[in-house]
Amino acid sequence: MNALPLLLIGLAMFAGGYFLYSKFLGNRVLKLDPSFRTPAHERQDGVDFVPTNKFVLWGHHFTSVAGAAPIVGPAIAVIWGWLPAFLWVTIGTVFFAGMHDLGALWASARNKGRSIGTLSGRYIGGRGARLFLVVIFLLLLMVIAAFAVVIKNLLISTPSAVIPAWGAVVVALLVGQAVYRFKMSLALVTVFGVAALYGLILLGDAFPVELPDPIMGMSPATFWIVALFLYAGIASLLPVWVLLQPRDYINGVQLFVGLGILFVSVALSAPTIVAPALNDAVPAGTPGLLPLLFVTVACGAISGFHGMVSSGTSSKQLDKETDARFVGYFGAVGEGMLALGAIIAATAGFRTLADWENVYQSFGDGGVGAFVTGGGQIVNSGLGLPASLSATVLATMAILFAATTMDTGVRLLRFVVQEAGDVAKVKINNGVATLVVLAVGMGLTFSQGAGGEGGLRIWPLFGTSNQLLASLTLCIVAIMLIRKRRNPLPALVPLVFVFTMAFWAAIVQLGNFWGDDWLLFAIDVVIIGAALWVAFEAVFAMRRASREPPEALDADATENAELKG
């Protein structure tokens, strides 16, 4: 089958979702109000709460949520065939992820920019909130540790990506100063910023950087991991407009250009999808498609991590409530487009079925490597770019996606540590909280060796915990809608489906871990127990909400006052 129809159908579905369904959600369900005073204005502090142009904020949100996971998940899931992954990515993005991301952003903005973990205390209950924080902490810990390893591997395997990956930090610092301090035109800054990033890609391709072994008494793998954690810690402490926001924005534009290069290459070369639509000859040991598809392809269809970004950083920068549709829903669409690109690259970027099967010899194979290799082949065929430069472009894309998610993850985990301190009646400042995050994150990453093998130690639980968190986030959105007597079905339908599949997958994994990996078994038990507890409390909270007098449309001020109490 030709890959071009797949690309066109996917893009048409995403366009329909944004222009039609998101408009319905914004106008009829959430009823976004342009006159509502957002937390960015109400609590403006120049550090975390900063009113932001919606295009800049979209860039931050998109690149924060679109880490390596929407590449890894789909590029692994095609082992069952390209059709199941394609259907879940497109349908899941339009009807599940869009509502989840937009709903979480709206819910947080209506509650002074508080995180989903904190909101669970108000809408579900105190015990549920404490359990919610446990799941969130574990999920963020998985993200920052695993992404540090993914980035380290790419920096070592693709040395031509080193200069553009780290040079992007300098470009971001300059963009932040140009936009906020010197008030330069955003369009002009964007053009020069993207041109600088692609200039760095050309420079990196010409001058690849391979570190000596040892370097400063460490192996290259250890050095890169330490450097990544130190960078993420510093970035999490700086005012959001200095580095995090401009880095995410300019990366978002550059990454969209990169996706455009991939999609144009597909249009010009019309590559053949060599992988089967439904693979009835999966390698031995491959788990069943149900329910594992829906947790393997987490980011790229729906992801609980997105709710943490929406409520952790994006809601604090929302200039107008109506911007939430562009930032939240279109951010989900951007990630869906990345997942679509990963599916095409991992199925049409190989010359023959035998070549594809040689990569997918067991479950878990493929991933970022298949995306970079397959995508590079497509770009080389479509645009005639040298194979090495094509690989550099795609490897840099993957690194920048993962890095922006990692530094946002450290910032979010810092918030979680501080929220946990509030529960324990202990005030934890930003510096101490960040040190705790770095110590725990690096401790896990180096727990099985100096090469960072421990970073992927608990990653097998990411899919299930991430999707369970997404369903619990949708619980909060649904409860808010019920209290306001608005239609909760757009939240309830994805909630029930995602929770069922994720809980089913968690039980399946529990059986796999039994007698084989007691640490993962124990953590899985904790996650299942916490999810069940919170789910039961959420059901009771929904029943209470349906019986209470309906809230007035301006009742959010009352809700915020109650939160203070």
Q: Give per-residue pLDDT as tens, 322-349.
A: 999 999 999 999 999 999 999 999 999 9
| Separation in Å, CA 25 to CA 29, 62, 94, 333 | 5, 19, 11, 15
Residues 6+ apart with CB under 8 A from 144: 229, 232, 406, 409, 410, 413, 437, 441
The answer to whether the CB of 295 falls within 8 A of the CB of 74 is: no
Q: Dihedrals φ, ψ of 215, to 5°? A: -130, 120
pLDDT band at 28 (very low <50, low <70, confident <90, very high): very high
Query: Which ranges of 424-515 does DSSP label H, i.e. alpha helix?
Result: 430-445, 462-483, 489-513
Give CA–CA dist 54/52, Å, rounded: 6
pTM above 0.75, yes or no: yes
How many Cβ atoms from other residues are within 10 Å of residue 319's Cβ?
17
pLDDT band at 404 (very low <50, low <70, confident <90, very high): confident
**Is 432 or 253 the better-scoring residue by pLDDT?**
432
pLDDT score recorded for residue 565? 38
For the cut 60, the answer to whether the pLDDT of residue 130 exceeds it is yes
Question: And the tokens for 126?
Answer: 């105190």
The answer to whether the CB of 534 falls within 8 A of the CB of 132 is: yes
The answer to whether the CB of 437 falls within 8 A of the CB of 418 is: no
Question: If we measure between CA atoms, which residue out of 87, 127, 88, 165 comes closest to residue 400?
Answer: 165
Give CA–CA dist 294/503, Å, rounded: 11
Q: Give per-residue pLDDT as tens, 204-224.
A: 999 999 999 889 999 999 999
Write out the DSSP string of 390-417: HHHHHHHHHHHHHHHHHHHHHHHHHHHH
Residues 6+ apart with CB under 8 A from 404: 63, 64, 67, 247, 248, 251
Give CA–CA dist 76/368, Å, rounded: 9
| Separation in Å, CA 139 to CA 9, 367, 416, 469, 526 | 33, 20, 11, 9, 12
**Is 558 or 176 the better-scoring residue by pLDDT?**
176
Please state at what angle helix 330-348 crosses helix 3-16, rounded to 10 degrees.
170
Residue 514 three-state SS: coil
Polymer length of the chain: 565
Rounded to 10 degrees, the C-alpha dihedral 464/467/473/478 comes to -120
Q: Give per-residue pLDDT as tens, 514-546.
A: 888 888 899 889 888 888 888 888 888 899 888
DSSP state of 25: I
pLDDT band at 128 (very low <50, low <70, confident <90, very high): low
Q: Which CATH class is domain 3-564?
A: mainly alpha
